[in-house]
Copies of this chain bind each other. A is one copy, B any other.
């Protein structure tokens, strides 16, 4: 069945499956010490324009978020995040299970409200100075997602402002890039991968949602963050057959494949969006990336669900529903046409 319910419903780009089949019976070294993983890490450092960056290939998003945060924080320190941030709402307490508090911040369409964040930091710093820092969870890092859970983007100017705030208040800046390709390849995005590598302390390049079977490539640019292989293992996250990650990221990072297939998802999303607008549907969020949100009459939703997988977000009012439609690296023009014909 046609489905736009989420962006991790397909396997991997065929080039990855081909490479995995080619080396399937070779004897590979385990735990990410193989040549493919070395190559992937090197390609990622090059793409980031930072040959000193520490790169680690992990399996999934929740795991990756947990390990990065565990590497940054002590028990009396916390991480600021948009109230709607993935680590605050969709990870079953994985961050807290590991001993760290997520401090929710006001947000608009997935983006942390920077003015509110600035006021919060000023206020709590004054309060903590007055009463004694030892009674509070000390903000020590800021988590943002790019693009956000609502498909929106931070501008380069906003990222710079966040960097300045993090410098002022001694916070690490961490970017969850589970959908990084779908953000950076948006025509509306004025941030480059190299900008990111310069401006933030740690981020990751999401593979699971962008062409890989699974995998997230963590890039640590600030050596004060001790994200070591031992820490990864202590989280049960050092994959025995690490070359599976190496092959995937080496393939994706070669010849711009990752960026090309990410751009396809955005292009298809833009077609989908235009098609829906042309049909008179209301945009719920003005998203420039692969996740598109619309407000539909309830009976249109019910009809659509007969033939297309969609994601129901919430009731807009008694007679309308907010839905999400995602494209992915694998979405074809034909699928968009088919969707628009069905609606």
Contact = CB atoms under 8 A, between A and B. Distances in A.
B27 A233 contact: no
Interface stretch (A55-63, A192-200, A267-275, A293-301): A55-63
A241 B8 contact: yes
Given A241-B214, A312-B130, A96 B10 contact: no
A18 B158 CA distance: 46
Contact of A237 (B29, B96, B138, B236): B236
Interface secondary structure of A, over-half rule: loop
A231 B74 CA distance: 8
Given A20-B17, A76-B228, A92 B33 contact: no
Interface in A276-321: 309, 312
A96 B137 contact: yes
5 contacts: A31-B135, A62-B233, A67-B236, A76-B92, A138-B230
The CB with the most chain B CB atoms within 10 A, among A96, A213, A235, A238, is that of A96
A21 interface: yes
Contacts of A27: 1-3, 5, 9-10, 309
A241 B11 contact: yes
Count of identical protomers in the assembly: 4
B91 A233 contact: yes
A24 interface: yes
Interface of A: 1-3, 5-6, 8-12, 14, 17, 20-21, 23-31, 33, 59-67, 70, 74-78, 89-94, 96-102, 104, 130, 132-138, 208-209, 213-214, 226, 228-241, 244, 309, 312, 330
A92 B8 contact: no
Contacts of A2: 27
Contact of A214 (B92, B133, B240): B240
A143 to B, nearest CB: 15
A282 to B, nearest CB: 22
A28 B14 contact: no
A214 B242 CA distance: 10
